[in-house]
Amino acid sequence: MAEDVTYPDLVVVGAGLFGLTVAQQAVEKAGARVHIIDVRDHIGGNAYSYFDEETGAEIHKYGAHLFHTSNQRVWEYVNRFTEFTDYVHRVYATHDGEVYPLPTNLGTINQFFRAHYTPAEAKALIEEQAGELAGKDPQNLNDKGISLIGRPLYEAFIKNYTAKQWQTDPSELPASIINRLPVRFNYDNRYFKDTWEGLPKDGYTAWFERMIDDPRITMELGVDFFDASQPYNKAALNAAGVPVVYTGPVDRYFDYELGDLKWRTVDFKEVRYDEDDHFGCPVMNFSDADVPYTRAIEFKNFNPERHDSQNHERTVVWEEYSRFAERGDEPYYPINTEADKDLYAKYVELERTVPNTVFGGRLGTYKYYDMHQVIDTALTAYEEQIHPMLAK
C-alpha cells in the first residue's frame, strides 16, 4: 500500500448485521471514521433483500429472514432505524397429501390422529408413545426424536425432513443435534415465542442503509479482504496496525492452516405461478421423502400490508434444498461436530496472534445466530473489545 494512504480509525470486513452495528456504534460512541468492505455486491449479509419487479414481493435473497426478539436492548436499538409490521410467523407442513400446523400443537395432534383430545389426553398420549424407548440412552437422532415426541409424530414431521436437511439418515446422525422438540398442548401455532416480532416496514435493505447513513462511514462493495491488490487487504492493515473487525469465515482468515470448519449450505430453485397466491402462507414445509426440497417460501405472503402494490396475477416461490457446503459455497449452518468444536477452539487460539482484529458474526465465531443475536453480540463486542481499541 502506498505510504500516503490515509487510514480510517476502523476497518470493518463484512457488511452484514454484525459489521453494520459495529460501524454505527463506532461513529456514534467514538466519533470514529469507519470504512466497510464486503466481497458481495450488496450490504446486509444474508439478511439482504430486494423487491421483485414482476410480483412486487420482497425477496429474501438468502432465505426467509424473520425478526423476533425478547431482548429489550436489541428491540430498542433496531427501532431506531426501522418500523416493524405486526407480522407473526406461522409455519405449515405438508405430509401425506395433507397440511398441518407447526410446531406440533393440539391442532396438529388432533388432526393427525383424527381425534378430539383434550390437552391432558394429548399429553398422556405423547408421553405413552415417547415411552417406547424408556430407560434407554438414545445414541442417534432417530431414537432421540422418538423418545421426545413418540414414533408417529416423529416419523411424520421430523424424520424425513431432517434426512433431507442433512443428506443423512437420522439413524446415522448424533442424538446431540436435537435437545428438544416443541409440542404445545393448546392450539397456539405461533412459531416464535418472543416478546417482539415483525418485519421491517420498508424492507431489510432500507433498514440497513439507515444504520450507516453517516458521512464518517464509507463503504466499498465487491472488495476481497484477501486480495493484496486492493488497499484494505489483510496484510497491509495488519502491518499498519489498523483496528479491524472481521466477519468472514475464521478458517479462511488463517488460510485454512488448521483445516476446514464444516458447514451446511442451501440452494434455491425459483418457481413462478400464474396465480395470486400458491400456498396461502409464507412458508410450507414438506415432511415427506418423495419431495426433494425441505420447504418452499412464498415471499409476498410475508407482507399482506403491501397488497395494493403487488401483482395479483403472478407469484414467486423459492424451493429450498439443503446440502453440505464446500469451499466457494455460501456457509449457512455450522455442523458443529465435536471435531469442528475442537478445531474452532484452535482457531480462537490463533486469533491471539492478531491483537488488532476482532472476530464476529456467524462466520467469524462459527456459531448459528438469529438476527437479534447477531446485533446483541455486536453491541457487546463494541463495548468490551472495539471501543477500548479505538480509545487507545
Catalytic residue set: 180, 184, 264, 295, 320, 368, 370
Q: Are 243 and 57 within 8 A, CB to CB?
A: no
H/E stretch holding 222 reads none
3-state secondary structure of 138: coil
Which spans in the chain are helix H? 17-30, 72-78, 106-113, 119-130, 141-149, 151-154, 160-166, 204-211, 234-240, 250-253, 338-351, 361-365, 371-381, 387-390
H-run or E-run covering 181: none
Q: Are 161 and 287 in contact (CB under 8 A)?
A: yes
Q: Report the largest interatomic distance among the alpha carbons of the chain, rounded to a whole angstrom.
A: 77
Give ∠ CA 261-220-80 in degrees, rounded to 5.
Answer: 85
Residue pair 253/261 in contact by the 8 Å Cβ criterion: no
For 251, how many CA atoms within 13 A lie in the half-sphere containing its CB? 19
- 206 within 8 A of 82, measured Cβ to Cβ: yes
Q: CA 42, CA 166: separation in Å to the nearest integer?
A: 29
